[in-house]
Structure 1
Amino acid sequence: MFRYLAGALAALLLVTGVFFIWQGRAQQPQPLAAPVPAPVLAKPGQALPPIPQAPAADPKDKEEKRFARADKNDDGRITLAELIEPRRKPFAKLDLNGDGRLSFEEWAVKTIDKFEDADADDSKALTAPEFATTAPKRKSKPACACG
């Protein structure tokens, strides 16, 4: 009987300890906010420099710009022809035999060509160094667009 009482007491102490540890982690000190810079005060009789004009915000949001790009004749509506026309040239590039249909091979021609170019030893399999040559080239962003 004493073993059961000691086990229950040990379990209760364990749960209490876990609770206090959990509470202690939840109440860690918060980092202080960055100090706010003091406002520039003008001395009596001294004029402050003029505030430069803020750049005007573009009233069109992202979706309006996307709509405007698709609406080629600016009539406020997008017809099926306006939506399909920009895709004709890319489709024609993929349709190698000009039959108006894309086979899987025609659709995958870039991937197939990339594989064949990377397979330097013509083994029909890419080794790790050969596969590394197929990595996409990353476009570097300018450090700053400031004038």
Structure 2
Amino acid sequence: MAISRFLIGGVASALLLTGGLFLWAGYTQVAEKELLPDPPPALAAIPVAGPNAPTRGPAPPALPAAKEASREERRFNRFDRDRNDRISRVELMSSRTAAFRKLDKDGNNLLTFEEWAAATGARFAGADGDRSGDLTRAEFATTAPKRAAKAKCSC
């Protein structure tokens, strides 16, 4: 008698759980439909002037040439993903696969916190002069790798 009650309770629990999952899946589908706006209607074709159409006013002035970015500016911009003139730790580490390999001391393609903190924490803290938690352009320039000395002759 006790075993049959146990089995009936188990079957009833399984049915309730299955029904709950179906209800939950239905609610999430309804919620997704309510959150997504309808796509905008197709835009009408914008009329374009022909090659012989008259122009209005004087010709626009020529755009000034962009200044050539220095090596450090290009390097900084490569890491500054959100273009806010500051590099966060996440931005600094996002594209550094070679640096990752150097940090992974045991070579298992997994970086433990100890491996990472030992090398990058001290370097970032040393470069972050104002202790703000991110690097300005001037602070980032201090992290540039030192260039190898070039040979004086081509022997």
More relative contact order, 1 or 2 (CA 8 Å, 6+ apart): 2
Same fold (TM over 0.5): no
TM-score by length of 2: 0.26
Output the TM-score relative to the length of structure 1: 0.28
Q: Which structure is larger by alpha-carbon Rg, 1 or 2?
A: 1
